[in-house]
Amino acid sequence: MHESNVLDKPEQLEKVDKSRMLDLCGKTPEYCQDAIKRGGEIAISHKNPRNIIVVGMGGSAIGGEILQDWLRDRLSIPIQTCRSFTLPAYADESTLVFAVSYSGATEETLSAFMDAVHRKCMTITMSSGGHLLSFSKRLGVPHVTMPSGLPPRVAIPYLFFPLPVLLEKMNIVSSLDRDCEEVIRVLEKVVEENSPHIPTKKNTSKMLALELKGTIPMVYGFGRFRAAAHRMKTQFNENSKLLSTYNIFPELDHNEVVGWEASEILTKRFSVILVRDHSESPEIRRRIDFAKLLAFHKAQKVLEIWASGKRRLAEIFSVILTGDFASVYLAILQGVDPTPVKTIVRTKVELGRKSNVLERLEEQIQRMID
């Protein structure tokens, strides 16, 4: 059977995609609407933070990266994503901290959350349950509850949209309705154009998967698409079960391009995916075009994903969802169920056996309550 026909045969898709990851991707616009609603239901009293830190690991941290990219030219308050057991030294009473863990059991996030509480930061938590929810209830910390039962990487709408909704409640951002309405409209179109029933020749994500098969994807973004490139890389890791890398312009022009001087025996193992936007600046366009001419011709394939939408947030999420679909189709082409992440589960189990983090945090909370 020709490979493209595999992606156009419903029975083949269902045979490999046993946990129905494609269906979950198709529900992304619905999840966005629900996430916006859940964020709006939370009462908060925090005001006038001088800086913002989003704490998380893995997919739970991508929401913070998207927030940074979206607001980088719009907000004067610094935003940082923290992937660590502790907060940066500057965090204090004037710092707004979002502690985000889909499972609510991530040790790094729980530790950083307690660090925020000890430093009297303005703290808000987000999870589907777990210790983060119970700790928040006991300490009186506002909490956004997500629906449980999803693979964390599917929950990206829940890991992001409560952040800007709550920032709007604090008068830090405005006009959020227009951004959210366009995101949902654009994502509905992405779903319509990349769903399983759309044939390969008309389906951007299916075509991308076919081009990538047998290679290592390298995702290159720029500026506002830094988080989108990172997200795509991790989706190839988790869904497609592949090694993958990402980088951004213009930084990669100052280091990574030299790596393409390697022998084609090595470079032909890689395919380059360029995240593009019709409104990209002339400076960025020149750097992308020159890199294609100078280095990327040595890759197996050079592919492009073009953002959709007029506003930045819609552009970012259009790239993310297109990449999500592509990573699932690539898994199916390899005969791999995209949903299970056995190595992550094993890692957490093994590390948990040798950890006393939860016991230590429980003791700290009990002392604070007493």
In the structure, what pLDDT confidence band is assigned to residue 2 with cuts at 50, 70 and 90? low
pLDDT number for residue 4: 62
CATH of domain 45-169: 3.40.50.10490
Whether the bond between 250 and the residue before it is cis, its omega within 30 degrees of 0, is: yes
In the structure, what pLDDT confidence band is assigned to residue 239 with cuts at 50, 70 and 90? very high
Instruction: For residues 261-287, give the mean pLDDT.
Output: 96
In the structure, what pLDDT confidence band is assigned to residue 24 with cuts at 50, 70 and 90? very high
Identify the DSSP state of 8. T
Q: Is residue 1 over pLDDT 60?
A: no
Tell me the pLDDT tens digit for each residue of 40-86: 999 999 999 999 999 999 988 999 999 999 999 999 999 999 999 99
Q: What is the DSSP string of 19-60?
A: T-HHHHHHTHHHHHHHHHHHHHT--------SEEEEE--THH
Torsion of CA 40, 43, 47, 53, to 10 degrees: -70
pLDDT number for residue 294: 83
Tally of CB atoms within 10 A around 120: 12
Cα within 13 Å of Cα(110), Cβ side:
22
In the structure, what pLDDT confidence band is assigned to residue 363 with cuts at 50, 70 and 90? confident
The residue type found at 245 is: T
| Main-chain dihedrals φ then ψ at residue 132, nearest 5 degrees | -65, -40
**Residue 169, Cβ density class (10 Å: 0-12 exposed, 13-18 middle, ≥19 buried):** middle
- Cα gap 180→159, rounded to integer Å: 15
CATH of domain 3-18+179-333: 3.40.50.10490
pLDDT number for residue 77: 95
Token pair belonging to 107: 């040790």
Tell me the pLDDT tens digit for each residue of 333-342: 999 999 989 8
Same fold? 3-18+179-333, 45-169: yes
In the structure, what pLDDT confidence band is assigned to residue 316 with cuts at 50, 70 and 90? very high
Tell me the pLDDT tens digit for each residue of 169-198: 999 999 899 999 999 999 999 999 999 999
How is the chain split into domains, by residue range? 3-18+179-333, 45-169
Q: Is residue 354 over pLDDT 70?
A: no
